[in-house]
Amino acid sequence: MFDSVRSRLTLWHVAVLALVLLVFSAGIYWLLEHNLQARTDASVEAALKAMEHLLAYERAEGDTELEAARNTVVELRYPQMALAVYTTDGRLLAETRYGSSRAVLPAASDEIPDQAGYYTLSDTDTATEEGLRVGAKRVTPAAGAAPNIVVAAHSLEQISEELRALRQVFMLAVPLALFLSGLSGWFLTRQSLAPIVAMAERAEQISAASLSQRLPVANPRDELGRMAVTFNNLLSRLEQAFTQQRQFMADASHELRTPLHVIRTAAEVTLEPPQGSEREAREYHEALSMVNDQARRLTRIVEDMFTLARADAGQRAMEYGDLYLDELLLDTARAATILAASKGISVEIGPAQETLFRGDEGLLRQMLLNLLDNALKHTPSGGRVSVQMAQHDEVYEISVSDTGTGIPAEAQPHIFDRFYRSDKARSRSETINGAGAGLGLAIARWVAEAHSGSLTLLRSDAGGSVFSVALPASHGAQNKNQHSL
């Protein structure tokens, strides 16, 4: 019954209201009872003072003690009150009653005043359920006269009736208020949670095949609207991740299928029985060379995919160490020079200062090789690849430029996407690391970002492309010794 949030909220609402009403009712009841009691005590005190003054007046007129007492109780009339005059030894001199109630002396001796001018108040039970509020006061009517005790007893019947009526009101009003409050609370909670119910129903309909759906947003400025907007943003990121994953799997399958097909075809052709004469060693050598090339390509693709997968999962621990960026750049440039010479491409290396840096040498080397690999792949014979390193403020900047045909404008936003290649023919020309698979720039950017840096395409037009790596100088130290790469 109370499994739903709506039921629990309604129950808590009613429980809190019940506690508030209980405290409020108890406070009202106590306040009314206190005020009625104070009003009754004031009436009793006024009656005692009047009896004291009238008794003194009667004695001053020459009346005897008994006559003065009788005249006092007869002449004074108070609603719902009985009066009496006693001697100090407890003998009744005169009294007036209120119904069957009498103004008797308090039973306890400590409730009878023992000094003139003092009075006491106490509750006395009578034949009725309400009881009496009794006040007793010791008075001295005249000089030299024996003291008397005047008693006034006020009926508590009216107080009891008013308090009883208030209790009846509370017994009717409080349950009714709780019922109406619970009903309204249930309705308001239902209306308030309706957007959440709608969002839950819509979310249940969303699957991996329908990530384009979004939750309804009634008011984006309130809390529920902000939650829906946040969830929709999460769905957008999930949709993008799923799309990238599907594209990654499709591209990976395409890239792996081609070399596998070549390997299989070469093996099948080689294993077929020759017609006429046996195969020459040269034919076997060519077939094995083809298999070796494609195996290298497969190895490159798998290693790159493994690197990116570990990077995405945060499992590629960075192996930081002190290194010299200038020496690292020199080593990678030398490796590029060997392949560049075979393609008729010149590699120009600019001067750089000795630069101490703290980073992952293996990843930084791979980043530089990938950039040089990309430049050589898109530079025709007779072209030029330039490598420069400089410091600007607190940033080390490494630029790799080429004199190739450039990257089409529509392809530039996607060059760092995985398996993306701007050339329509998806060229697999031989490069430093083997045939390309479209993962080199993606890995290079990740390496730069892993070192708190960035990799950007500064320019690409008909005159060639320029890529720039920016690494924060806070990763290392440098000195001013200049030397040429």
Given pLDDT bands bounded at 50, 70 and 90, which one contains residue 315? Answer: low
pLDDT, average across residues 336-345: 86
Q: Does residue 431 carry a pLDDT above 80?
A: no
pLDDT, average across residues 316-344: 86
Lowest mean pLDDT among 102-106, 226-230, 326-330: 102-106
Q: In the beta sheet, which residues pair with residue 454? A: 470
Categorise residue 438: left if φ over 0, alpha if ψ from -120 to 50, beta otherwise.
left
CA distance 343 to 8: 77
49-83 burial, b at 16+ Cβ within 10 Å, e below that, comes to ebbbebbbbbbeeebebeebbbbbbeebebebbbb
Chain-wide mean pLDDT for the chain? 81
Cα end-to-end distance, the chain, whole Å: 79
Q: Does residue 430 carry a pLDDT above 70?
A: no
> What letter would DSSP give residue 219?
-
> Residue 128: what pLDDT?
47
Given pLDDT bands bounded at 50, 70 and 90, which one contains residue 29? Answer: very high
CA distance 321 to 471: 15
Given pLDDT bands bounded at 50, 70 and 90, which one contains residue 25? Answer: very high
Residue whose entry in the numeric block shows the structure tokens 């020199």:
330
**Beta strand extents in 78-218 (DSSP E only):** 81-87, 92-96, 119-124, 132-139, 148-155
Fold classification of 5-162 is Beta-Lactamase (3.30.450)
Q: Does residue 233 carry a pLDDT above 80?
A: yes
Residues whose CB falls within 8 Å of the CB of residue 373, separated by 6 or more in sequence, listed in order: 336, 431, 432, 433, 436, 440
Q: In the beta sheet, which residues pair with residue 133? A: 123, 154
**Which regions of the chain carry the CATH code 3.30.565.10?**
320-483
CATH annotation of 223-312: 1.10.287.130
pLDDT, average across residues 429-434: 49
> Residue 171: what pLDDT?
93
**Which regions of the chain carry the CATH code 1.10.287.130?**
223-312
> Residue 425: what pLDDT?
38
Structure tokens of 382? 């007779």
DSSP SS3 for 223: helix
Lowest mean pLDDT among 250-254, 256-260, 266-270, 356-360: 250-254
CA distance 368 to 387: 10
> Residue 123: what pLDDT?
63
pLDDT, average across residues 381-400: 90
Position 133, amino acid = R
pLDDT, average across residues 184-204: 82
Residue whose entry in the numeric block shows the structure tokens 């050598």:
285
Which one has a higher pLDDT value, 175 or 294? 175
CA distance 63 to 357: 122
Residues whose CB falls within 8 Å of the CB of residue 74, separated by 6 or more in sequence, listed in order: 94, 96
Most confident of 62-66, 251-255, 428-432: 62-66
Q: In the beta sheet, which residues pair with residue 314? A: none
Contact 101, 153 (CB under 8 A): yes
Share of the chain above pLDDT 90, in %: 21
- Please count the other Cβ atoms lying within 10 Å of the Cβ belonging to residue 376: 23
CA distance 379 to 385: 8
Residue whose entry in the numeric block shows the structure tokens 């991740």:
241
Q: Does residue 198 carry a pLDDT above 60?
A: yes
CA distance 401 to 386: 5
> Residue 255: what pLDDT?
66
pLDDT digits (tens, 9 = 90+) for 115-173: 545 455 566 654 445 678 888 888 888 777 888 889 998 888 888 899 999 999 999 99
pLDDT digits (tens, 9 = 90+) for 271-288: 776 665 666 777 778 778
* Rg of the chain taking only CA atoms, in angstroms: 52
> Residue 115: what pLDDT?
52
Q: Does residue 243 carry a pLDDT above 90?
A: no
DSSP SS3 for 132: strand
Nearest to 465 by CA among 432, 437, 441, 430: 441
- For 368, how many CA atoms within 13 A lie in the half-sphere containing its CB? 25
CA distance 99 to 441: 109
Given pLDDT bands bounded at 50, 70 and 90, which one contains residue 466? Answer: very high
Given pLDDT bands bounded at 50, 70 and 90, which one contains residue 436? Answer: low
Q: In the beta sheet, which residues pair with residue 384? A: 346
pLDDT digits (tens, 9 = 90+) for 42-95: 999 999 999 999 999 988 888 888 998 999 989 998 888 999 999 888 889 999
> Residue 144: what pLDDT?
75
Given pLDDT bands bounded at 50, 70 and 90, which one contains residue 193? Answer: confident
Residues whose CB falls within 8 Å of the CB of residue 232, separated by 6 or more in sequence, listed in order: 214, 215, 217
Q: Is the dihedral of CA 204, 210, 216, 222 positive or negative?
A: positive
Most confident of 111-115, 334-338, 369-373: 369-373
Strand 132-139, strand 148-155: pairing: antiparallel
CA distance 278 to 321: 57
DSSP SS3 for 54: helix
Range 17-23, long-range pairs (CB < 8 A, 24+ positions): 17/177, 17/178, 17/181, 18/174, 18/178, 21/174, 21/177, 21/178, 22/174
**Which regions of the chain carry the CATH code 3.30.450.20?**
5-162
CA distance 464 to 404: 4
Most confident of 185-194, 223-232, 342-351: 342-351
Fold classification of 320-483 is Heat Shock Protein 90 (3.30.565)
Q: Is the dihedral of CA 393, 398, 401, 406 positive or negative?
A: negative
